[in-house]
Amino acid sequence: MDFLPPDLTAYADAHTSPESELLRRLNRQTHAKVLHPRMLSGHFQGRMLSLFAHMMRPRRILEIGTYTGYSALCLAEGLTDDGRLVTIEKNEELEDTIRDFWRESPSADKIDLLIGNAADLIPTLTDTFDLVFIDADKISYSLYFDLVIDKVRPGGIIMADNVLWSGKVVQPVKPSDKDTLAVMAFNQKVQDDPRVENVLMPVRDGVMMMMKK
């Protein structure tokens, strides 16, 4: 995931606004007690998500893949006063950690957590979203895109994380490496879709930014 030399990564972190005390504690707890902590958005990417949300001032956000709730808190910072963020997480074992930290956030009453399979839950949502953040199982990225594109307003933004997949997208891929193949197929699908304008940003593990026309 780390493409820049460590000293440049440290320099970028040092010149990025700090995370809040709540986010700092959530970051620490995730690394200390939860499996696969590299899945956490973390300080740098979290501030990027917050900044994008502040620029957009979205009224409705959809997040697919909550993990321990760090990115949801960052995105919620930019919501309008009457805004809502819906986030979907399939791992019910994370729910207590998520809710324990969210209770301490001023955005707590703006966030709705849905536990279950995103492919089943997304079709039940009736909101029109200003911003969607996809950060879940890579095999389903193309499916999630298909499920959300008609729920996003014209001019709305879809963001997908991990689209460089630790650099594997430009390396020889074995047929058994289904995650890498799925990420590559998703990237090409977005590139070929006339409904969006897109930029693949080489930030952290790669973020695909899409604006619906």
Is 188 domain-assigned? yes
Give the tokens for residue 104. Answer: 């301490």
Q: Of residues 87 and 166, which shows the higher confidence score?
A: 87
The predicted pLDDT at position 30 comes to 85
Read off φ and ψ for residue 137, nearest 5 degrees: -65, 130
Contacts of 60 (CB under 8 A, 6+ apart): 83, 84, 85, 86, 127, 128, 129, 130, 131
User: Which amino acid type is present at position 169?
Assistant: V
The pLDDT tens digits of the residues spanning 110-125 come to 999 999 999 999 999 9
Domain span holding position 92? 6-212
Tell me the Ramachandran region of residue 171: left when phi exceeds 0, alpha when psi lies from -120 to 50, beta otherwise.
Answer: beta
The predicted pLDDT at position 2 comes to 63
The predicted pLDDT at position 59 comes to 98
The pLDDT tens digits of the residues spanning 128-179 come to 999 999 999 999 999 999 999 999 999 999 999 999 999 999 999 999 999 9
Is 167 domain-assigned? yes
Q: Please enumerate, as own/partner, the contacts of 51-59 that have beta carbons within 8 Å and a separation of 24 or more.
A: 51/78, 52/78, 52/131, 52/157, 52/159, 53/77, 53/78, 53/79, 53/131, 54/78, 56/130, 56/131, 56/157, 58/83, 58/129, 58/130, 58/131, 59/83, 59/84, 59/130
Is 108 domain-assigned? yes
pLDDT above 70 for 95: yes
Is 137 domain-assigned? yes
The CATH code of the domain that includes 48 is: 3.40.50.150
- Rounded to an integer, the average pLDDT of 197-205 is 93
Is 1 domain-assigned? no
Read off φ and ψ for residue 38, nearest 5 degrees: -65, -15
Q: How confident is the model at residue 73 (pLDDT cuts 50, 70, 90)?
A: very high
Is 89 domain-assigned? yes
- Rounded to an integer, the average pLDDT of 23-45 is 83
Contacts of 29 (CB under 8 A, 6+ apart): 68, 97, 101
User: Which amino acid type is present at position 82?
Assistant: D
SS3 101: helix
Overall domain count for the chain: 1
Q: How confident is the model at residue 40 (pLDDT cuts 50, 70, 90)?
A: confident
Q: How confident is the model at residue 89 (pLDDT cuts 50, 70, 90)?
A: very high
Q: Alpha helix (H) ranges present in 57-154?
A: 70-76, 95-102, 118-121, 141-148
Q: Which residues pair with 197 in a beta bridge?
A: 211
d(CA 41, CA 22): 14
- pLDDT above 70 covers what percent of the chain? 97
d(CA 92, CA 80): 29
- pLDDT above 90 covers what percent of the chain? 85
- Rounded to an integer, the average pLDDT of 77-106 is 94
User: Which amino acid type is present at position 34?
Assistant: V
Q: Which segments within 24-79 are labelled E, that is strand?
A: 60-64
